[in-house]
Structures are given as C-alpha cells and as structure tokens.
Amino acid sequence: SYIKQLYPLLQRNRRNTPLSHFEQNVDPIPLRRRSLGLFLSSAVAHEAPVVIGNEPQTVYEAVLQDKDNTTVRGTFTTHGAEDGIGIQFRVALTGVPKDTFLNYHIHDNPVPKDGNCYATGGHLDPYKRGDRPPCNATEPQTCQVGDISGKHGPVWTADGNFEVLYRDFFLSNVEDTVAFFGNRSVVVHLPDNTRINCGNFHLVSDGVEKKEEAKKDQGC
C-alpha cells in the first residue's frame, strides 16, 4: 500500500535528515487516500500528493530584499531530500518583530524589478484548494502547497532571530512539474496579511559539478 511504501523511507532517514513537525508527530494513516507520485489532477482531488524524484543536489534559495518599511531580512535555502521525497528547507531570518508572529508562503509569481511584493499573486496552489479554511498542520496534504508556514509553523522569536529546518513533502525542485517552486517567490506576511518583504527563488547549484566529480572518482 501507499503507507507501506512511504513510511519505511521516512524512518530510514530519520536520524540523518532534519524533519518537519508533520513527519515526527503526525500519524500517516490519514494520508492513505493519496497516491504516491509526482502529479494529481486538480479536477480529481484537492489533496496534494507526496512528491518523489526531487534532486538532492539541486539548491534553490530566496533572499529577502533590503526594504525601508521593515527590519526583516533573511534567506530560504532548499534542496531535494536525500531520498528524493520532498524538499529540505532552512529558513533563517533576522530583525523579526518581538511582539508578533509572521507567516510566509510561496507565491505563484516572481517579484518584479520594482520589488513590489503585492505583484506576486496568490499562494502556489496547483490543486485549487483555496485560502479557506486555514491550513491544518496535522493534515498538511490538505493545505495549499505554497502555505509553508501553515504546514510547518509561523515565525516567532524572543530575540529577533529565527532559524528552522524541516522537510516539506509536497514541493518539487524538478522543472515542469505542478509543484515546482524554483521560478516563484516567497513572501513574508504580518498576521493581518500585510506583505512586508519578499524575494525570488534562484538556482544556486544544480549538482552538475558534483555529479561530474562523482563520475571521475568512479573512473567513468
């Protein structure tokens, strides 16, 4: 079954990979209804499938802008999980307000040259789930694919600095797949949805050099 295929893979990598709240604490049985694969027709279901086949050596990163209206700065660094299932995230922010929390999402469109965060469109939502009801973190497959703080928790800190590592099972770093985010943006929001900062994902490394080095080491 689906669970019998997926769960051993997650268990095997538990000690070596920073995992999300979902993987550590959520019973996978509710995921039984999903099929394992890269695609799911939006006309069939709203739930997102677990994405397999991600590239571990492919690194995408988004850097927030230097903006006058906020102190929030930081980076969102990603790569494919070692087993190809989902995407590893490292979120590192500074200048976070101490009296509130922040949400952040992957948005459909890139940030234009003028830096307008409101020009990035809505959340990445290839399965047409919509914004309502709010994301339930215990059932991340039912959330919008781009609602990463909904699935993994908002930004909250006592000293202005925030860092978190997690794996998201529903995003893809393979181009031309519906959950691909490498040509999109990340937007940071206040609780009232005011967009205070944003940045575009860009390709840092596609792993080609490492693959060539590995071939040389193997005498190919």
102, 154 Cβ separation under 8 angstroms: yes
- Torsion angle of the four alpha carbons 63, 208, 216, 81, in this order, in degrees rounded to the nearest 10: 70
Structure tokens at 212: 């060539």
Residue 47, token pair as written in the block:
């739930």
Q: Is residue 219 part of a domain?
A: no
The verdict on residue 220 lying in a domain is no
pLDDT at 31 > cutoff 90: no
Name beta bridge partners: 145: none
Using the 8-state DSSP alphabet, how is residue 102 labeled? B
**C-alpha–C-alpha distance, residues 4 and 59, integer Å:** 29
**Quick check: is 216 in a domain?**
no
SS percent in the chain: helix, strand, coil, step 5? 20, 25, 55
Provide mean pLDDT across the span 2-7: 43
Question: What would the pLDDT profile of 43-53 be if each residue is shown by its tens digit?
Answer: 444 789 999 99
Mean pLDDT of 112-131: 94
Q: How many CA atoms lie within 13 A of 79 on its CB side?
A: 13
CA 89 to chain centre: 6
Which residue did the predictor score with more confidence, 42 or 165?
165
Residue 35 pLDDT more than 70?
Answer: no
* pLDDT at 167 exceeding the cut of 90: yes
Q: What sign for the dihedral angle of Cα 24, 28, 34, 36?
A: positive
pLDDT of the residue at 42: 37
**pLDDT (0 to 100) of residue 105:** 98
Tell me: pLDDT of 24 over 90: no
Residue 131 confidence (pLDDT): 87
pLDDT tens per residue across span 59-118: 999 999 999 999 999 999 999 999 999 999 999 999 999 888 999 999 999 999 999 999
When mean pLDDT is compared across 6-20, 46-60, 62-76, 169-183, the lowest value belongs to: 6-20
Domain contains 17: yes
Would residue 163 count as lying in a domain?
Answer: yes
Range of the domain at 146: 3-210
Residue 28 predicted with pLDDT over 90? no
Question: Which of 116, 120, 170 lies closest to 143 in space, CA to CA?
Answer: 170
Q: Which band of pLDDT confidence, cut at 50, 70 and 90, is reported for residue 210?
A: low
- Rounded Cα gap, residues 42 and 128, in angstroms: 6
Residue 39: C-alpha distances to residues 1, 60, 144 (Å): 18, 21, 15
Reported as a pLDDT band with limits 50, 70 and 90, residue 207 is confident
Look up the CATH number of the domain holding residue 156.
2.60.40.200
The yes-or-no verdict on residue 122 having pLDDT over 60 is yes
218 falls within a domain = no
Parallel, antiparallel or unpaired: strands 73-80 and 87-94: antiparallel
143 or 217, greater pLDDT: 143
Q: How many domains, in total, are found in the chain?
A: 1
Assess if residue 110 is contained within a domain.
yes
Residue 33 has pLDDT above 90, yes or no: no
Residue 82 belongs to some domain of the structure:
yes
